[in-house]
Structure 1
């Protein structure tokens, strides 16, 4: 079974994946484009997500080795950094973060990811809108009657596409805030 889903919140993605596991579908592959592949299983699994910055080959090998020593199977993750997907059969140790410090570091990495990508997309948004705004049709706002409505309706889907980076900045800002709140609670 394949499902397409896009997430802006790593914790909601983990929750959704675990809901699929509870329904009896084990994740076998995740593409970078939001396509999740599942297969029916009789075993009970748990899935955890971790965010890691870029790791060298040696550090990446060590990172994966530590998790695999505890029974976790590596499903997917970019070698350049990003979300790492881990899955294992349910037993007495179903968490990948064993203490407050490792959980705190996880939220710190999430804040770094959200703020970095958010600032990049904010810059992209500025470059897209600085000279022309959302609508690029020349003289659109001076047109009258049916000509205006035809040009406006034609241009609107393209304007909405140009708005995507700004919308993503809002989602990433929300993700940063959630991670910051959880990080602050762990630091108390």
Structure 2
């Protein structure tokens, strides 16, 4: 079974995964949504970290460290960022984090990732505007999205026929041109929200 959800709060995400386990759905991976398989309902304790690794060896050492402490790595790759751990030993610590700084640090890393993504899209968007591939004024003036010559000077049936014919193409242009600024704004917003989670935990 696959479910699609989006979280900026690791605690809420972990609580949801634990609730799914109690309902008989075991979390087995995350790729284009959360993957679950039917299982015996159980009370689980899942914790989430955010960390990427430059090489496989460091990632393996990272997972092994937690598994030696009673926490099994159940999802995540060296480059995925989000890492999921499940408590498998009764004598394991109650949390995978040793202090508040390390617990808050995952939000800082996530915030920096979203900021980096927004900065990657920004020069691409600027280049598309500079080359004329995107008409920035068209995003503010919908009339510029219509290319039919003399459209706005037409009247009656001629106007409505041309207007209705081109509107789907105009909407497609608007959606295409707005894609990059929307993505940039979303990533900046995600960066801000996760930064707030970081600051809250550091207080």
> What is the TM-score of this pair, normalised by structure 2?
0.72
Match among 141, 156, 160 for residue 175 of structure 2: 160
- Do the aligned residues in 2 keep the contact of 1:18 with 1:46 (CA within 8 Å)? yes
> What is the TM-score of this pair, normalised by structure 1?
0.77
Match among 140, 146, 157 for residue 161 of structure 2: 146
Number of residue equivalences? 186
Q: Which residue of 1 aligns with 2:120?
A: 120
Aligned mates of 1:53, 1:82 — CA distance in 2: 5
Give the superposed CA RMSD.
Answer: 3.1
Q: Which residue of 2 aligns with 1:78?
A: 77
- Do the aligned residues in 1 keep the contact of 2:22 with 2:42 (CA within 8 Å)? no
Structure 1 position 140, deviation (Å): 4.7
Is 52-61 or 130-139 further displaced after alignment? 130-139
- Do the aligned residues in 1 keep the contact of 2:29 with 2:36 (CA within 8 Å)? yes
Structure 1 position 29, deviation (Å): 2.5
Provide, for residues 43-63 of structure 1, a one-character-per-residue CA deviation record: whole Å limited to 9, x for no partner. Answer: 221222221133322221211
Q: Which has the higher strand share?
A: 1
Q: Which residue of 1 aligns with 2:28?
A: 28
Q: Does 1:169 align with 2:184?
A: yes
- Do the aligned residues in 1 keep the contact of 2:48 with 2:82 (CA within 8 Å)? yes
Residues 55-134 of structure 1: pairs in structure 2 closer than 5 A: 55-89=54-88, 91=90, 93-130=93-130, 131=132, 132-133=134-135
Which is higher, the Rg of structure 1 or of structure 2? 2
Provide, for residues 110-165 of structure 1, a one-character-per-residue CA deviation record: whole Å limited to 9, x for no partner. Answer: 12111111222333443445522369977158534222222222442464255344
Aligned mates of 1:160, 1:47 — CA distance in 2: 39
Is 135-144 or 151-160 further displaced after alignment? 135-144
Change (3 A) 1:28 1:53: closer
Give unpaired runs (5+ residues) of structure 1: none
